[in-house]
Structure 1
Amino acid sequence: MRSMASTLLTPNQINSIMKRREFIQSSSLAAVGMLTLPSFLMKKEKKGQIGLQLYTLRSTIGQDPKGVLKKVSEFGYKNLETYGYGDGKIFGMGFKEFNDYVKSLGMKVTSGHYGLDMIKGDKWKKAVDDAKANGQKFMVVPYINEDQRKTIDDYKRIIADLNAAGEVCNAAGIRFGYHNHAFEFDTVDGQIPYDVMLKELDPKNVGMEMDIFWVVNAGRDPLKYFEQYPGRFEQWHVKDMDKSDKNRNANIGSGTIDWKPIFAKAKQSGLKHFYVEQESYPGEPINSVEEGAKYLKTIL
């Protein structure tokens, strides 16, 4: 048995032990805190992955696609979602040429929008093949024309087409999706079309790209949908709502939508990518694109 004298510690030793205990305790608390964050926010490499739907710059990108893309890259965008693809071309460029230029700027095309008229037959196979060849991971239908959605049976026919198009994408290793507006939340034949879509679209074939602005515009709560259908909302459109006119966009961070609690539920949503998109602007579209990136960098 050791003598009591041999177990006595000097003041310096006691101070060292106390500091070590404080370090261990603070480290443990930090680790617990990290576990409560969505994985989307925990990964440093994800912080910079701000995306842009190029439709935001539709007034200029067709005239000077390379110049517009270069400016977008300078704002810090990393992921792009395209629109306007047709028969192997986009914005007057070959699809491969376009993708190669995007990559040379340190960005990548992660998703693209394709009309309902494209999701069958050879047109769809060509689009899917081009997306796969260029490393694109998502393909999305963004809109249903008014004359195509008069009844719930109309929606159900479209749902069947979407499920079939998703099977083609799955075979190529691409994720297919559907993007909402506000009209899917209007009552049709006593039902809410968006809810019907969530129930009848096969999650194995079709994911959802939630346009958060349009969900809020329709008087719905995005967080409730995340809770009811966890993991289904793999991509988002991020655009803010004007304080005086709910049908107009504000620059992100200056409107009425509180983005912090929404991004806090990214993991529950199933989020893989999000894209800044604006359809109306307080000034020049390119300035809104810059302001959107600046704001998002402050909350991610």
Structure 2
Amino acid sequence: MSYNRRKFMQQAGKAAAASLLLPAWACNNAEKTDAENAEGTEQTTENQAIKGNLGAFGIQLWTLRDVIGEDPKATLKTLAGYGYGQIESFEGQQGMFWGMKPAEFASYVNNDLGMNLIASHCNIMECFEEKAAQAAEAGMKYLICPWVGPQESMDDFKRITERFNECGDICKANGIRFAYHNHDYSFAELDGEIPQDYMMDNTNPDTVDFEMDMYWVIVAGVDPLSYFERYPNRFRLAHVKDRMKEAPAEEKQASCTLGKGSIDYPPLLAAAKTAGISYFILEQERYDGTTPMEGAEDGAAYLAGVQI
């Protein structure tokens, strides 16, 4: 069965909790008035030459899932023009390499476009050894599990944790690393335990890292800073996406164009760097009146100008 992240996300929506508690600091941007936001946009436009200090940043191609399949090379070229320096792929209908051989895809991204192919999300339950070898051939640093879904019991999460360690060993044998990308479900207490904590405490830090999706941590009602403090150097990548202002707490699928939502990212990004995160990757799961490419362009402008 082919990997279908869209189906996964639909299932996640059905499993939404009745209510969520967002940390107060996560809503700082929501206090800005429309006039203040308009003024900020105008100032950004007038000062496009002013660059931020985040450094290189990337994009998860899932953001462009509705358009990239039409012409992968053209889409990637446009992303390079927006200022993205890193690419994180996913396993779509054309595979992680979008119809190209691993080395061909990597050469186009790295050599022709001047970006770096960092990682890919993939289904870890099918042909993982082959995928690890292909990722290594393409020069990726990571293969990442993007989803396991809510489970019936902690025993299920314990089996998943064992699989993560197996995947870490397979990746190590190929000269790359393995990571797990969280959603909100792993922060919900189950059988008296927090699955995210169990996975982090029981995976081998020599072979298994974590990619923090900061949006989903916030949606879970958890402070990302607490995890940076408790698990320094375990999170090596981060997904950066914004949350719609005034979105009801129970609305999980409320991401929006980066920089236009309620999450105050500069202090989060600064803390993430201190905690050992090296890769900051934009991902947008839904669109708020923009096209996928417009969202990607606006997100790149925000990340290029952010001061941390």
Same-fold call, TM cutoff 0.5: yes
Structure 2 distance, partners of 1:116, 1:169, is 11
- The equivalent of 1:9 in structure 2 is none
Q: Which has the larger radius of gyration?
A: 1
SS, match of residue 70 in structure 2: coil
Structure 1 distance, partners of 2:94, 2:132, is 11
Task: Determine whether 1:133 maps to 2:141.
Answer: no
- The equivalent of 2:220 in structure 1 is 218
Task: Tell me the alpha carbon deviations over residues 14-37 of structure 1, each in whole angstroms, 9 at most, x when there is no partner.
Answer: xxxxxxxxxxxxxxxxxxxxxxxx
CA apart distance, 1:203: 1.1
Out of 103, 109, 132, the residue aligned to residue 102 of structure 1 is 109
Structure 1 distance, partners of 2:271, 2:234, is 12
Out of 82, 88, 91, the residue aligned to residue 75 of structure 1 is 82
Closer, same or farther: CA 89–225 of 1 in aligned 2, 3 Å: closer
Structure 2 distance, partners of 1:48, 1:160, is 35
CA apart distance, 1:150: 1.2
Amino acid at match of 2:267: P
- The equivalent of 1:278 in structure 2 is 284
Deviant stretches of 4+, over 3 Å: 85-89
Closer, same or farther: CA 58–86 of 1 in aligned 2, 3 Å: closer
Task: Tell me the alpha carbon deviations over residues 244-272 of structure 1, each in whole angstroms, 9 at most, x when there is no partner.
Answer: 22531121111111111111113332112
- The equivalent of 1:176 in structure 2 is 178
Out of 63, 66, 72, the residue aligned to residue 70 of structure 2 is 63
Structure 1 distance, partners of 2:220, 2:257, is 19
CA apart distance, 1:194: 0.8
Identity %: 40
- The equivalent of 2:15 in structure 1 is none
Task: Tell me the alpha carbon deviations over residues 94-136 of structure 1, each in whole angstroms, 9 at most, x when there is no partner.
Answer: 2222222112111121011111323xxxx22221111112211
Structure 2 distance, partners of 1:279, 1:112, is 16
- The equivalent of 2:31 in structure 1 is none
Closer, same or farther: CA 125–243 of 1 in aligned 2, 3 Å: same
- The equivalent of 2:148 in structure 1 is 144
Out of 266, 290, 296, the residue aligned to residue 289 of structure 1 is 296
CA contact (8 A) 1:114 1:141 kept: yes
SS, match of residue 212 in structure 2: strand
Structure 2 distance, partners of 1:157, 1:216, is 26
CA contact (8 A) 1:88 1:94 kept: no
Task: Tell me the alpha carbon deviations over residues 144-178 of structure 1, each in whole angstroms, 9 at most, x when there is no partner.
Answer: 144xx211000000100110110111122211100
CA apart distance, 1:293: 0.8
CA contact (8 A) 1:177 1:207 kept: yes
CA apart distance, 1:86: 8.2
Structure 1: any 5+ residue segments left out of the alignment?
Answer: 1-43
Task: Determine whether 1:243 maps to 2:250.
Answer: no
Task: Tell me the alpha carbon deviations over residues 218-258 of structure 1, each in whole angstroms, 9 at most, x when there is no partner.
Answer: 10000111011111110000000111225311211111111
CA contact (8 A) 2:60 2:87 kept: yes
Amino acid at match of 2:205: P
Task: Tell me the alpha carbon deviations over residues 177-214 of structure 1, each in whole angstroms, 9 at most, x when there is no partner.
Answer: 00000111122112211111111112112111000000
| Aligned positions, number | 251
- The equivalent of 1:18 in structure 2 is none
Structure 1 distance, partners of 2:124, 2:132, is 14
- Give the stretch that moved more between structures: 184-193 or 272-281: 184-193
Structure 1 distance, partners of 2:100, 2:173, is 27
Structure 1 distance, partners of 2:283, 2:69, is 17
Q: Equivalent residues in 2 for 1:153-232 (5 A)?
A: 153-232=155-234
Structure 2 distance, partners of 1:233, 1:298, is 24
